[in-house]
Structure 1
Amino acid sequence: MSSSSSSMNRYWIPHLDIHKKVITQELQYYLGPEATVRSFTRDGEDGFLITTPGPCLTDEQIDDICVKSKEMWERQAAARASGGATKILKRPLHQPVVMSKTGSSDSTRRRREGRRGNDSRSRRDERRRN
């Protein structure tokens, strides 16, 4: 990294009309590879904290991000409206694998053995008393 974190400038902009995914994708295009963005709340208002070695985004760049954000929200809404909710999830690697089940033979066997142990202790205690 050519510049240290102490020489980086930090700017806050409100989240109004800005999609997080869009600003994350576009920021380095506008401000260079060292620029970063993260969600940040300032005085109770949500927004984005931008860290960059140079100046912050221009009004034109922010307008462009807002336009792209609006397009992103419209695409997401269209996908939901077209039945995106009925889409089949493709998660073959996340197929659940049963490790144990309540009431399986192992747990039943352990419960029976536990009872036998208690029964034999009770008999021993009873013999000692007599």
Structure 2
Amino acid sequence: MSSSSMNRYWIPQLDIHKKVITQELQYYLGPEATVRSFTRDGEDGFLITTPGPCLTDEQIDDICVKSKEMWEKQAAARSSGASTKVLKRPLHQPVVMSKAGGSDSARRRRENRRRNESRSRRDERRQN
């Protein structure tokens, strides 16, 4: 549809989680409906573009309830601690290549000791 046949509506952001309205909008208004953050007269909200009417009061109430649930889930996840948090990208976990004082350091010390002993023996032979 052309943009001239689309209706645009603004609703305030109050009690609405952006992720929830983004996920729910097309369910309520159809696949052509879009939503984006928009500030109108200094107030944050959402600009909804749709070929038909805007959300009903009941649909907005439903989005507000789902938004509250989303915020509660996020708060619970934060309070449970990061130790149980699963990485979104498990393939990007750090891999230890060397640690200070680890086996690489011990190996280097042994090699340096051997080199120094070899030099000492060489120097002794030269002196004799």
Same fold by TM-score, threshold 0.5 exceeded?
Answer: yes
> Which is greater in Rg?
2
- Matched residue, 1:71: 69
Distance 2:93 2:42 in 1: 39
Deviation at 1:43, TM superposition (A): 0.4
Distance 2:42 2:90 in 1: 39
- Matched residue, 2:112: none
Query: Scaled by the length of structure 2, what TM-score is found?
Result: 0.68
Cα 1:82–1:28, aligned 2, differ >3 Å: closer, same or farther? same
**Residue type of the partner of 1:71?**
E
Query: Once the two structures are superposed, what CA deviation does each residue of 1:42-74 show, in whole Å capped at 9, x if it has no partner?
Result: 000000000000000000000000000000000
Q: Among 2, 25, 34, which residue is 1:4 paired with?
A: 2
Structure 2, gaps ≥5 residues long: 96-128
| Over 2 Å off, 4+ runs | 85-96
Query: Scaled by the length of structure 1, what TM-score is found?
Result: 0.67
Q: Among 78, 81, 90, which residue is 2:79 paired with?
A: 81
Distance 1:46 1:92 in 2: 38
Matching of residue 60 in structure 1 with residue 72 in structure 2: no
Identity percentage of aligned residues: 86
**Residue type of the partner of 1:92?**
L
Q: How many residues align?
A: 93
Structure 1, gaps ≥5 residues long: 97-130
